[in-house]
Amino acid sequence: MPELPEVETIVRQLDRMLRGAVVESVVVRRREVIRHGRSALQRHLKGRRIEGVEREGKRIIIKLSPPAVLVCHLGMTGRLMMVPAREPIDKHEHVCVRLVRRSHELRFRDPRRFGGLWFANGDGMRSALPLRPLGPDALSIRLPVLRAILQRRRQIKALLLDQQAIGGMGNIYCDEALFAARIHPLTLACELTEEQVRSLSRNIRGTLRASIAAGGTTFSDYRGPTGPRELSRNGCECTAAKAKSADDAGRGSNASPLPAAHPASVRTANDSARPAHVCP
């Protein structure tokens, strides 16, 4: 599943490719992937100018003018792709947005259909979208805000994964940030020391920024907007041991063994949300 660094990488690429484009037409091949605003999208998307592409948590936000917004969540297998307009539409490409005087068009592809699109037409309509509110963004959250959130009596990893508490954290990067801060994922958040809170704050931002700089991290067949695998394994120390191939486990992008967490030393601890990987 794409996490914050992957989505941030995609957003930066799409913003460069789509900013200033005007929608010529939209083709919806599976209506159910439009989670909100199906009729409005088909009636009102045409003729709008794309003002920019932004990220909120793990959501992709396409801002339009006259005022409207198209929100995308990629789910497990979703992709927003720029595809040559002349190419045949694949069976898993459910929505195609054609652009005026552009050789490429934007397509939403999602074989498993856990992702989706939400459309709001008109200024101020975005608040009406049936989307759960997000907590402060993990990439920019400040220490005092994080400290206040961590006062809750919840296991630290489960709390970090709660998008309404902190927006954007996913399973891989929770494991990585906690590993770097030397915090066990089942520790109660309210029991962390001040030193641990400060270390976690640094390592949440540091882990995410390092992965964004490397183009993201993926242990699956994820692809970026233009097709090739832009996203690479970038040396995640703890979760590298989750790689499918035993030859790859515990190895970074340069294929050298990771001294901090040998695969044989990684254990799985069950928390209230997702499996947590720890190196005793």
Tens of pLDDT, residues 136-146: 999 999 999 99
89 domain residue, yes or no? yes
Task: Give the pLDDT band of residue 216 (cuts 50, 70, 90).
Answer: confident
- CATH code for the domain of 267: 1.10.8.50
Identify whether the C-beta of residue 174 lies closer than 8 Å to the C-beta of residue 161. Answer: yes
Predicted pLDDT at 225: 82
Q: How does strand 116-121 pair with strand 34-36?
A: parallel
12 domain residue, yes or no? yes
Residues 89 and 179 in one domain: no
Mean pLDDT for the stretch of residues 10-24: 97
For 86, the 3-state DSSP assignment is: coil
Whether the pLDDT of residue 113 is over 80: the answer is: yes
Give, for 179, the enclosing helix (H) or strand (E): helix 171-181
For 93, the 3-state DSSP assignment is: strand
Task: Give the pLDDT band of residue 6 (cuts 50, 70, 90).
Answer: very high
Residues 150 and 216 in one domain: yes
Task: Give the pLDDT band of residue 266 (cuts 50, 70, 90).
Answer: low
137 domain residue, yes or no? no
Whether the pLDDT of residue 260 is over 60: the answer is: no
Predicted pLDDT at 236: 56
Buried residues in 243-264 as b, exposed as e (16+ CB within 10 A)? beeeebbbbbeeeeebeebebe
User: Poorest-confidence range of 15-19, 107-111, 121-125, 272-276?
Assistant: 272-276
Predicted pLDDT at 251: 32
84 domain residue, yes or no? yes
Residues 86 and 118 in one domain: yes
Could you tell me the residue range of the domain that residue 221 belongs to? 143-278
Q: Which of 99, 128, 157 is the last residue of a domain?
A: 128
Predicted pLDDT at 242: 46
69 domain residue, yes or no? yes
Q: Which of 128, 159, 192 is the last residue of a domain?
A: 128
Task: Output 159 or 244, whichever has higher pLDDT.
Answer: 159
Predicted pLDDT at 2: 87
Residues 154 and 273 in one domain: yes
Residues 121 and 231 in one domain: no
Task: Output 247 or 192, whichever has higher pLDDT.
Answer: 192
Q: Which of 105, 128, 151 is the last residue of a domain?
A: 128
Catalytic residue positions, numbered: 2-3, 58, 251
φ, ψ of residue 188 in degrees (nearest 5): -70, 135
- CATH code for the domain of 44: 3.20.190.10
134 domain residue, yes or no? no
Mean pLDDT for the stretch of residues 204-209: 97
- What is the C-alpha to C-alpha distance for residues 30 and 81, in angstroms, rounded to an integer? 17
Identify whether the C-beta of residue 119 lies closer than 8 Å to the C-beta of residue 68. Answer: yes
Task: Give the pLDDT band of residue 1 (cuts 50, 70, 90).
Answer: confident
133 domain residue, yes or no? no
User: Poorest-confidence range of 45-59, 84-98, 150-164, 220-234?
Assistant: 220-234
Residues 162 and 120 in one domain: no
Among residues 139, 136, 261, 116, which one has the least CA distance to residue 212? Answer: 139
Task: Give the pLDDT band of residue 256 (cuts 50, 70, 90).
Answer: very low
Predicted pLDDT at 123: 66
Q: How does strand 68-73 pair with strand 49-56?
A: unpaired
138 domain residue, yes or no? no
The total of other beta-carbon atoms located within 10 Å of residue 114's CB is 14
User: Poorest-confidence range of 8-12, 26-30, 118-122, 172-176?
Assistant: 118-122
The total of other beta-carbon atoms located within 10 Å of residue 31's CB is 12
Mean pLDDT for the stretch of residues 203-230: 76
Task: Output 40 or 222, whichever has higher pLDDT.
Answer: 40
What is the total count of domains within the chain? 2
Q: What is the pLDDT of residues 144-161, one digit of tens each?
A: 999 999 999 999 999 999
Task: Output 245 or 77, whichever has higher pLDDT.
Answer: 77
